[in-house]
């Protein structure tokens, strides 16, 4: 009987010790990762410039803060007083896109497929935003480096990319 009692006690002590060894103290327990904050509008510097190809506008957003923050992965690009915005290619859902402190990200917008399209609309401004909750910044055709008006018909935009070359490549892949 004594042997069974010693074995039972020994097993209980071993199991208890194992629990103590494997259980991390509450203060050292795995904490959920801190969520990257959304960039405040005041730290975002937006830019836009017409490319050599008059159908394309390059847009940028720079995080001027000292911390990484997020913007929406889909740029919001609207045209003068026309309804709607450039459609993202590939299509997708809104979601966060991290922008490092002091870093710039890029997107390419095709405003029109054929500059001679008779259905083209003409606008004097383009508005760009990195977050649909923000008003963004409006650029005149002159500020874009375009002629008096920007031609628009079925516009599309890439998602934000880490470089201008990556944005151009994504646009070319999406629309040819």
What pLDDT does 173 receive?
Answer: 95
What pLDDT does 30 receive?
Answer: 55
What pLDDT does 26 receive?
Answer: 44
Share of the chain above pLDDT 70, in %: 81
pLDDT over threshold 80, residue 160: yes
pLDDT over threshold 50, residue 7: no
What pLDDT does 17 receive?
Answer: 42
What pLDDT does 3 receive?
Answer: 41
List the domain boundaries for the chain: 41-175
What pLDDT does 32 receive?
Answer: 60
What is the separation, in whole angstroms, between the first and last Cα of the chain? 85
- pTM of the complete model beyond 0.85: no
What pLDDT does 2 receive?
Answer: 42
Higher-confidence residue: 46 or 24?
Answer: 46
What pLDDT does 23 receive?
Answer: 44
For residue 76, how many other CB atoms are within 10 A of its CB? 20
- Assigned fold of 41-175: Immunoglobulin-like (2.60.40)
pLDDT over threshold 50, residue 9: no
Distances in Å between the Cα of 104 and the Cα atoms of 130, 156, 161 are: 12, 21, 9
What pLDDT does 147 receive?
Answer: 81
What is the tens place of the pLDDT at every residue in 123-138?
Answer: 999 999 999 999 999 9
**What distance in Å separates the CA atoms of residue 69 and residue 77, rounded to the nearest whole number?**
21
Phi, psi of 95 (to 5 degrees): -175, 170
pLDDT over threshold 80, residue 21: no
């Amino acid at each position: 009987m004594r042997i069974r009692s010693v074995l039972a006690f020994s097993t209980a002590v071993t199991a208890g010790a194992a629990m103590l060894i494997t259980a991390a103290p509450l203060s050292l327990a795995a904490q959920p990762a801190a969520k990257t904050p959304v960039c405040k509008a005041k730290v975002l510097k937006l830019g836009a410039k017409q490319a050599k190809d008059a159908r394309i506008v390059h847009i940028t957003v720079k995080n001027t803060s000292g911390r990484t923050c997020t913007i929406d992965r889909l740029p919001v690009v609207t045209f003068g007083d026309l309804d709607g915005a450039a459609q993202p290619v590939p299509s997708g859902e809104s979601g966060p896109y991290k922008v490092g402190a002091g870093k710039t990200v890029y997107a390419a917008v095709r405003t029109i497929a054929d500059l001679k399209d008779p259905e083209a609309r003409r606008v004097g401004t383009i508005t760009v935003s990195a977050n649909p909750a923000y008003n963004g910044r409006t650029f005149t055709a002159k500020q874009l480096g375009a002629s008096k008006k920007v031609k628009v018909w079925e516009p599309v935009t890439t998602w934000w990319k880490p470089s201008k070359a990556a944005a151009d490549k994504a646009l070319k892949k999406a629309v040819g």
